[in-house]
Chain A
Amino acid sequence: MSLEVNDLFAGYYEDINILQGVCVCAEKGRITIVIGANGVGKSTLFKAVYGFLKPRSGSVIYKDEDITGTNPYTIAKKGISYIPQRRNIFPYLTVEENWEMGAWIFRNDKNRIKGRIKANYERFPNLFSKRKTHAGSLSGGEQRMVEIGRALMVDPDLLLVDEPTAGLAPVVAKEIYSKLKQLNMAEQKTILLVDQNIRQAMEIADYIYILELGKNKTQGSRKDFETDLKAMIRDWLF
């Protein structure tokens, strides 16, 4: 088991818990997705896991280590990378500088940085020609690629990905999902994905959690859901 979230309670305001006892596990080498309607606490779950929000109770265990409430910049050193939903590139740094920042925790190891950047160009070949461009002036899809690349700089075992395709054109979205799948297949990355783009996310998922109002509603492997997926979507939309 890579990441275990047990019975997590967390919220932004006093007395109001967005997460009310969520349990999620990300199994090693798999893509696990967490889906649910708007406002059920999907993004909050990641914020609580990555230390931006202190959980009120419950625990976060990563590789048998309790990391509940640890600072984000400390968690980064443990081999977990986080790609939040909102744009979070450094807009006035170049693509390459953005990636260098991803390597902050081993910034004195120049060779390792070079190697990681080279690996990123292999993953995202079309960014090579734009390596000296300010990341802020790239297209939305390219910015996502830069972010994923930056998250991969530390060679993480676990990727937390929050709605990677929100606001992107369907073609670009498709490319991003295939990149994630590729990372999982070719590089054995464990991925925990929360998403609203259920149809496309389901396609790459191995295991699925469904949240409702801050609590687990149901869970299971993709096969379990394939049959009643349509019904589920209809439920949310209407």
Chain B
Amino acid sequence: MTEYLILQALNGLIIGLIYALMALGLTLIFSVLKIVNFAHGELYMLGAYFSYYLAKMFGFPPVLAVLSSIIIVFFLGVVIEVLFLRPVYTGAVERKDEYAILITFGLSIFLQNLALFVFGPWTRRSPSFVSGTTSFCSLSISNDRLVVSALAIVFMVATLIIIGRTFIGKGLRAVSQDREAAAIAGINPFKMNLLAFGAGSALAAAGGALIGPIFLIFPTMGAMPVIKSFVIIVLGGMGSIKGCIIASLILGEAESLGSVLFPDLTRGLAYKNAIGLLFLVVVLLLKPTGLFGEKHVRMK
């Protein structure tokens, strides 16, 4: 039983890391652009498809396919920002919050159906990073899951270093904390919007491309993870990067362990999503700003 719980905790950690990548992207976009990107799940889906096709049709090695896909989606995010989200900041639309919700929501539906049309309805799977399984005592875990968690950690640490230590990253944080002050300091907020949306999209794509060999690729694959990401950023405190990562890991573990420790064993899986949401409700009751909520980014 102990072995089982350990392995289960490990599984929860892996899921949590993937959640974290995606939620980190959502947080980045939210803190800099102050909009909630409802099309985030579709960027995740596109990341997975691009990586799949690069590997299958052009014979890219899996890791290279993932990296290329991330770069492609970065630029896709930049294009989306310029075409659809610019009006929010140039004052071209009057009710910018409503506009942002509608435009990203519409984009989500459009991209989902475009994928259904272009890629077809059949479920796909990216080639394995490393095939086979690794055994621990009597239990085994697939190599793909190990590689994916390692890569997820690499991407996450890279993101944290960029945001925390580099000048560009500090600039992003500065814009997120005070747009006007950043402009006074000479930071062009439009460029930062571009960068944040591109990077946020790239993080979603990283999650999708990594999950490809484990959880399969289909046009609606982003629907569940994006809801999880919303839960995570609220749980962690809107806009908090630390909160976002910690909340991801907590959610991954809560779902993973919750569903096996659930009193009625036969219902454990059925209540998996509910466990995470229950956790969210409890946290919000005790701390309405989330675990690490920062006041300045709270939604009005």
Q: A contacts B directly in the complex (CB < 8 Å)? A: yes
**Chain A contacts to B: CB under 8 angstroms:** 50, 52, 71-73, 76-77, 81-82, 84, 88-93, 97, 100-102, 104-105, 107, 150-151, 154
Asked if B177 and A50 make an inter-chain contact with CB atoms under 8 angstroms apart, the answer reads no
Contact B174 A93 (CB under 8 A): yes
The B contact surface, by secondary structure, is helix
When the two chains form the complex, which single residue of B170, B180, B189, B294 contacts A101, counting CB atoms closer than 8 Å?
B170
B189 x A73 contact (CB < 8 A): yes
Q: Which residue of B lies closest to A113 (CB)?
A: B167
Instruction: Type the 1/0 row for B164-198, where 1 means its CB is closer than 8 Å to any CB of A.
Output: 00010011011001101111111111000000000
What B residues does A84 contact at CB under 8 A? 180-181, 184
* 7 contacting pairs across A/B (C-beta < 8 A): A72-B180, A72-B183, A89-B181, A90-B181, A92-B173, A93-B174, A104-B186
Q: Which 10 A-B pairs have the closest CB atoms?
A: A76-B186, A88-B181, A72-B183, A105-B186, A90-B177, A73-B188, A107-B167, A104-B186, A101-B174, A90-B174
Query: With a CB–CB cut-off of 8 A, which chain A residues contact B173?
Result: 90, 92-93
Check B184–A50 contact: CB distance below 8 A: yes
Contact B180 A154 (CB under 8 A): no
- Give the contact-size bracket for chain B: 10 to 19
Task: Tell me if B296 counts as interface (CB < 8 A to partner A).
Answer: yes
- Shortest Cβ distance from residue A103 to the other chain B in the assembled complex, whole angstroms: 8
Minimum CB distance partner of B170 in chain A: A97
Residues of A within 8 A of B180 (CB): 52, 72, 84, 88
Q: Is the CB of B184 within 8 A of A72?
A: yes
The residues of B that contact A151 with a CB separation of less than 8 Å are 184
What residues of A have a CB within 8 angstroms of the CB of B186 in the complex? 73, 76-77, 104-105, 154
Nearest Cβ distance between residue A78 and chain B, in whole angstroms? 10
Q: Which residues of chain B come closer than 8 Å to A154, judged between CB atoms?
A: 186
Contact partners of A107 in chain B: CB under 8 A = 167, 171
The CA-CA distance from A50 to B180 in the complex, in Å, is 11
